[in-house]
Amino acid sequence: MIKETNLNIVLVHPQIPNNTGNIGRLCVGCNAKLHLVKPLGFEITDTKVKRAGLDYWKDLDLTIHNSLEDLLAVIPNKERMFLLSARATKSIYQTTFKEGDWLVFGKEAEGLSNDFQEQYQNQLRTIPFPGKIRSFNLGNAVAMVLGETLRQFD
């Protein structure tokens, strides 16, 4: 049975159009909403975004926010907003996700700003990894976290 979800995937200042396109396709497949926070490192009309999202881009529930402040203004309960960071100490596997949650990811090269992470320290989460890397690719990270939320919802 296909279930509707009410998850919000947020990309803050994404830089790589292919990642955003792939994440858009993932959102369509999982009935999640995609939120992009400007500035973006590309134009939404960029063929790389649409190519990576294939012909699913037209089905994407997409909202573009002009700033982080604009995004925060529409999140009704900041306690249900989770910021993904390789520097967090609490794992996604120690978190109970709920319908309507906001999963926030930073730009590829730098992640989320230190100020933003400090402001919402209790909402920081990480994807644990034992290997010798600093972080996962943004598209892979979104897929892993979204997969865990869907597993919990099943």
Any domain includes 80: yes
Q: Are 112 and 135 in contact (CB under 8 A)?
A: no
| Per-residue pLDDT tens over the stretch 8-25 | 999 999 999 889 989 998
CA distances from 117 to 7, 24, 88, 133 (A): 21, 24, 9, 21
Any domain includes 72: yes
Any domain includes 3: no
Q: What is the mean pLDDT of residues 65-86?
A: 96
| Per-residue pLDDT tens over the stretch 79-100 | 999 999 988 999 999 999 999 9
**Residue-range definition of the domain harbouring residue 67:** 8-153
Domain count within the chain: 1
Residue 1 pLDDT > 60: no
Any domain includes 2: no
Any domain includes 43: yes
| Per-residue pLDDT tens over the stretch 22-41 | 999 899 999 999 999 999 98
Can you give the CATH number for the domain in which 113 is found? 3.40.1280.10
Q: How many CB atoms lie within 10 A of CB 57?
A: 17
Helix (H, G, I), strand (E, B) or coil at 44: coil
Any domain includes 53: yes
Any domain includes 1: no
Confidence of residue 6 (pLDDT cuts 50, 70, 90): confident
**Nearest-10 Cα torsion for 138, 136, 79, 116:** -80
Sign of CA dihedral 95, 97, 102, 106: positive
CA distances from 120 to 64, 75, 84, 153 (A): 22, 13, 11, 25
**What residues have CB less than 8 Å from 146, skipping those under 6 apart?**
7, 9, 26, 30, 32, 103
Strand partners, 36: 11, 64
